[in-house]
Structure 1
Amino acid sequence: MLEKKDHSYERAVLVGLITRDQNEEKLNEYLDELEFLAYTAGASVEKRFTQKMTQPDAKTFVGSGKAEEIKEYVKENEIGTVIFDDELSPSQLKNLERELEVKIIDRTNLILDIFAQRAQTSYARTQVELAQYEYLLPRLTRMWTHLERQRGGIGMRGPGETEIETDRRIIRDRISLLKAKLKSIDKQMTTQRQNRGKMVRVALVGYTNVGKSTLMNALSKSEVFAENKLFATLDTTVRKVVIGNLPFLLTDTVGFIRKLPTQLVESFKSTLDEVREADLLIHVVDISHESFEDHIDSVNQTLMEINAHQKPMIMVFNKIDAFAYEQKSEDDLTPSTRKNISLEAWMKTWMAKSKHPTVFISALNKENFPEMKKLIYEEVHRIHISRFPYNDFLFEYFDEEETEK
């Protein structure tokens, strides 16, 4: 997927399974995404290993034969990291580390590592640290030596307590401390949201790397960090935006992803509260990605999990400037697939089947922005007049681009 190789990156291989629930095509999609995750984290992927099994092997995930094949390749090519596409159990992780004698990372650990790199504020770092410790606790082995061996004070360590038990106790104490800290911050965040008054709140949601931050910058005329890597944005950003002469609050939120670790969903509760408490959701979709429909399903599933799926929503299909497809010849009678359907066909399909207002744009080039702004205005205006019916006459939509001309 990614051709870029950099000697400063860790050399890694990917491992995934073809099962009853995941065919080869679906696995390749997941491995493409896993490679992008690895690249974002700082790894250069040298090879992919796939194995066809009814279900994951309880001991080594891939079976002893495939594990031996991976071990040979790792030794011959000086690979330092093996990344698995699914979450490994503590016993699988332990067995694989002993068998392969290199660093073993699963998808959950990789995502947590990226979050740790990207967290900028104290709040985001606290959330990530909590998720990391909750992931780590059941996976502690005697290989861990980086934690302090014991705490000072008489009676703080029982007789005969092993190092691993001390580590577990230290982590449990740290988890309790972080949860208490987050609880305190949650109260502050709730107060901040209440102090924003009755202004309509709009939240950008979507899969990671679909262009939410770029759209945020374009709408709010601010400089929110945006980059072509996964999870470029972790910290929630709120900006006041005015369309027509109607003001509202626009929130940029963390991107969703397939197989999102449960630890992150729980620890990022306050970030997701911005979505839960929004009056309107703008669901941004990367139309140029061949799996964009799966991304939509993943986002909708996450919205359902946090009980935000019934909110008013606008579907914004972004990156029409990057859309490409394999055009069929006129005499080609083979059925149309995702890869050879034109943008115009997708537009007609989604305009017809979506129950939400829908628009196709390029946030980068600001293409079709007047149509999108009019849609947002209409939805925000509808919510506003339901809340303040007496001052509806104050607001009237006008095209800012035409006015500027």
Structure 2
Amino acid sequence: MLYKFWMTVKKELLLLQRDFGGLVILFVMPLVLIITITLIQNSAFKSLSENKIPILLVDYDNGSISKTVKDNLNKNGSFSIVSKIHGIKLNETSAKEAVFKGEYQLAIIIPEKLSVDLQTKVDQNVNKILSGFGVTDSANTIKNGDVIGQKEVRLYFDPATQMTFKNAVKSAIDKMISQIETQSIYKTFQDQLGESNNPIFDQKSFIAFKEIVPTVNNKEILPNSVQHNVPAWSLFAIFFIVVPLSINIVKEKGQGTQIRLITNPVPYAILIAGKTATYLLICLIQFLLMVAVGVYIFPFLDLPVLDVSGKIMLMMNVAFFSGLAAIGFGILLGTVAKTHEQSAPFGATSVVILAAIGGVWVPVFAMPKVMQYVSHISPMNWGLNAFYDVLLRNGSILEILPEIIFLLLFFITTITIAILYDKKKRAV
């Protein structure tokens, strides 16, 4: 029985060896894919963090607020302020046209008398409060009759600008304006109370934010793009084994090889075991090559190194059971499909769909609620969560055990269906 198993494995290896183009796709293309995707993502991040984004600023205020806005934008380091185009000073109309044409991503319009009107409004509110305590005199309530309308700082965005960039900019400017208003209120209270030389208000933020990250041996675990890309695209490469595996099974049926194998005294389970062992070996080699690229090649490309110290065996376990799930799906597809035209397009498309809903391309938390529930049916999602547990959450075998069980059950289910379908088809 063992001899028959090894002969089946040898047959599969010979078939793969003769298909040089298939071997290139199985081993080289995933490496090219992971390097390309990671370089693009890393370059995009650097372009946002190192290159300043030019933004148009139209200042109709020319007061303390507009000066503070300019100072904060300059200190931010991500933006460069543009107030003239081709030597001509900007106004709201020209700035809007330039942004809507896609020449700039953002224009900020600061309205007239913003600083003066803000101070007037603050004076009114402070006087109203202090007068209730009998602190102010009648001279301080002269401005209370003026009605100050709400002011708008208008933002124009390029229609092609991503929503995440819009929300980040709006949040930053809103925070900036709120701080200016708060400081104006503090300062007015101090002036009214005659404490200008000795500030009575501590204007430093009382509440601060501090990120607590997991640590191992007193060393912080800081996630990076490599820790996301290597497991995600390794899974994609592992599941892409579905395509050549299903095509080979269909080819055996079309050439009559399967009939000759079945007529021999070899159980069908042995044939499936031989295919499983062969393609599982390929999956593990794929995974190890991807990890090797993350550990040894990425540092030479100015990318973060993949830290797998103490984690490689757990990652191998995840890759092993992910490979089983992919092989089970490939065998089922090859058993059911009747032609290459059925197996190849359906296999490739289904792998892409499983990757999309599994969180390989877009994080699951960023999907609509319905798709977040759907993602749980994708075996790629199970494998990806297990890899994240190991790499990013410092999980143990117990943490990844549920995902491993799901992957194993998926393999058993698909193989069982394939065997029953083949048995029924041959019995007809």
Q: TM-score when scaled to structure 1?
A: 0.24
Higher share of residues assigned strand: 1
Higher share of residues assigned helix: 2
Higher relative contact order at CA 8 Å, sep ≥6: structure 1 or structure 2?
2
Larger radius of gyration: 2
